[in-house]
Amino acid sequence: MASLVRKLEQFVRLSPLDHAILNRASSERVRHFGPRVDIVREGEKPKDVHLILSGWAYRYKQLEDGRRQVVSFFLPGDICDVNVFILREMDHSIGTVTSVSIADLSREFFEQVAAGHPRIVMAFWWETLVNAAIQREWTMNLGQRTALERMAHLLCEIWLRLRLAGLTNGDSCDFPLTQADLADATGLSKVHVNRTLQELRAADLIVLKGKTLAVPNLDRLMRAGLFNPNYLHMDHEGRQLDAAGTTDAAAG
C-alpha cells in the first residue's frame, strides 16, 4: 500500500483520512497468484479493479497462433485500469511475471471515494493520464526508435517507476523480466534483444546479473534511449490540491 500512496503523492499530498481509506481498501480483499499465470483473461467480465500490492505483472494481447504483445508492465502500487468494471468484457489479458499479491477494489469503493474524497479522485485521474502517456511513449518506441534506443528507453522507464514507488536500492533494482518478456514488449526477436543487451553492457550503461539491474549512470542511459521523463509527470502537479498540514513524512 505504501507504494500506491507514495506514487499518488507525486501528484497531490493526501490527508490522513485519505490514507486510511486507501489502506482499508487495499487490505480487505487480497488475492495471491504464482508466477506466469493469468489474473484475468481477454473475454472475461471484469468485476473489480486490481491494485498490485507486490510483484510484477503485465498487460498483453495475443493472436490465435500464440504470438504475444506485451503492452504494459505493472509494478507494486499500480492500478490495473481504473473503472474497468464498466466494461462488458476484457479486451486484453493481465498475467503475472513473479508471484503477485493484488487487492480487488470494488465499484462501491470508487463510489465512496467519488462521494467524499476529491484528492483521491484527482490522484486516480492523474494515474489514468500517466498510464495513457506511457502508452503513447510505447507507441513511439515501437514505431520510431532503434533497437538500442527502445531497450534503453524501456529500462529507464522501469527504473524510474520503481524509484517512484521506493523500490530501488542505490543504482540497483529487482529485474525479473526475461529476454522473451523484453522481446514481446519491444517488438524485437529474442536474438535481437540479447544482442542489444550486450551492447548496453559493453557501453557500461547497464549491469544485468541474474534478476538484478544496475544503472551506473542514469543520465547516460537516458541519452542512449532519447528518454525524456516528462511523460511520467513526477513533479507534484496537483500541489494546489494538497491536504493542509500533510507532509511527505505522513505518506508512510
Band (pLDDT 50/70/90 cuts) for residue 245 is: low
Q: What average pLDDT is seen over the chain?
A: 92
**Least confident piece of the model among 1-10, 140-149, 156-165, 203-212:** 1-10
Residue 248 has pLDDT above 60, yes or no: no
The mean pLDDT of 105-109, rounded to a whole number, is: 91
Whether the per-residue pLDDT at 172 is higher than 80: the answer is yes
Q: How far apart are CA 149 and CA 244, in angstroms?
A: 43
Average pLDDT for 12-34? 93
Q: Give dist(CA 145, CA 188) in Å, integer.
A: 12
217 neighbors 105 (Cβ within 8 angstroms):
no
The strand pair at 168-169 and 172-174 is best described as antiparallel
User: How far from chain centre, in Å, is Cα 76?
Assistant: 7
The mean per-residue pLDDT over the stretch 205-211 comes to 95
239 or 188, higher pLDDT: 188
| Grid coordinates belonging to 40 | 484475468
pLDDT number for residue 175 = 98
Can you name the residues that pair with 95 across neighbouring β-strands? 38, 58
DSSP track, the chain:
-HHHHHHHTTT-PPPHHHHHHHHHHHHHSEEEE-TT-EEE-TTSPP-SEEEEEES-EEEEEE-TTS-EEEEEEE-TT-EESTTGGGSSS-SSEEEESS-EEEEEEPHHHHHHHHHH-HHHHHHHHHHHHHHHHHHHHHHHHHHHS-HHHHHHHHHHHHHHHHHHTT-EETTEEE----HHHHHHHHT--HHHHHHHHHHHHHTTS-EEETTEEE-S-HHHHHHHTT--GGGG--S-TTGGGPPTT--GGGG-
The position carrying cell 521523463 is 229
Average pLDDT over residues 84-93: 88
Question: Is the pLDDT confidence value at 148 over 50?
Answer: yes
pLDDT digits (tens, 9 = 90+) for 31-68: 999 999 999 999 999 889 999 999 999 999 999 999 99
Integer Cα distance of 205 and 35 in angstroms: 29
Predicted confidence at residue 86, as pLDDT, reads 82
Are the beta carbons of 184 and 63 closer than 8 angstroms? no
pLDDT band for position 161 (50/70/90)?
A: very high
166 touches 174 (CB < 8 A) = no
Q: What is the mean pLDDT of residues 72-100?
A: 92
Cβ neighbours around 230 below 10 Å, total? 10
Q: Given a cut of 70, is residue 251 above it in pLDDT?
A: no
Neighbour tally for 167: CB within 10 Å: 17
What are φ and ψ of residue 81, in 5° steps? Answer: 65, 85
Closest CA to 168 of 212, 207, 234, 220: 212
Q: Summarize the confidence of residues 149-167 as an average pLDDT.
A: 95
CA 174/CA 103 separation, integer angstroms: 22
Give residue 1's pLDDT. 59
**Looking at the predicted structure, is the pLDDT value of residue 234 above 90?**
no
